[in-house]
Amino acid sequence: SFHTELKLRDTGVGKSSIVWRFVEDSFDPNINPTIGASFMTKTVQYQNELHKFLIWDTAGQERLLSCTAQSSSYSLSVLQETFSTLKNWVRELRQHGPPSIVVAIAGNKCDLTDVREVMERDAKDYADSIHAIFVETSAKNAININELFIEISRRLPSTDASPASGGKGFKLRRQPSEPKRSCC
């Protein structure tokens, strides 16, 4: 098994609710706005591997991206943004993030069908074009929340496929000998 670090960038469109639903299996319509960052963990079994997600639910700090890039070889970001700003964020992530980063886009609030702003086809086409996972979710109705994280697990390289780790898992943290940077 190995740890998988996710940082969820905030734009006030239901990210905390997704995390809450995933970690606690509950939905709170009066969830408080994220101030700073909250940290949660959840372990997911995918086939015969356990993936422990270390989830940082942040309040949209601009330094997040550089932190993601520095802190791990296989760190992930689940992004949830308005579709128009998502593209800029993904471009930056591809440029500065780890080369093998897994990107997942959650189109949340899919229960609110009558106020839909982005057509599923458009979002899916865009996600395919950047090789990202795309799922429409509803934190409220528990639609596709676990599936989102399972899909991320599925895309992670198998631990057996890592010659450097000897099959014992990936090292996600910098070695102590490397200089520390003040980040996050």
Ligand X SMILES: Nc1nc2c(ncn2[C@@H]2O[C@H](COP(=O)(O)OP(=O)(O)OP(=O)(O)O)[C@@H](O)[C@H]2O)c(=O)[nH]1
Q: List residues binding ligand X (CB under 6 A).
A: 10, 12-17, 29, 31, 33-34, 59, 108-109, 111-112, 138-140
Cα–Cα distance measured from residue 9 to residue 61, given in angstroms and rounded to the nearest whole number? 8
Query: Positive or negative, the Cα torsion across 16, 144, 119, 122?
Result: positive
Nearer to ligand X, 34 or 165 (CB): 34
- Least gap, CB of 40 to ligand X (angstroms): 13
User: Three-class SS of residue 154?
Assistant: helix
Instruction: Provide the minimum distance between the beta carbon of 14 and ligand X in the complex, in angstroms, as a whole number.
Output: 3
Q: Which is nearer to ligand X, 74 or 149 (CB)?
A: 149
72 in Cβ contact with 97 (< 8 Å): no
C-beta separation of 108 from 142 below 8 A: no
Strand partners, 134: 105
- Please, which residue, 60 or 98, has the CB nearer to ligand X? 60
- Cβ closest to ligand X, residue 33 vs residue 163: 33
Closest contact distance (angstroms) between CB of 48 and ligand X is: 32
Q: Using CA atoms, how far apart are residues 54 and 33, in angstroms rounded to an integer?
A: 20
**Minimal distance, residue 3 CB to ligand X, in Å:** 23
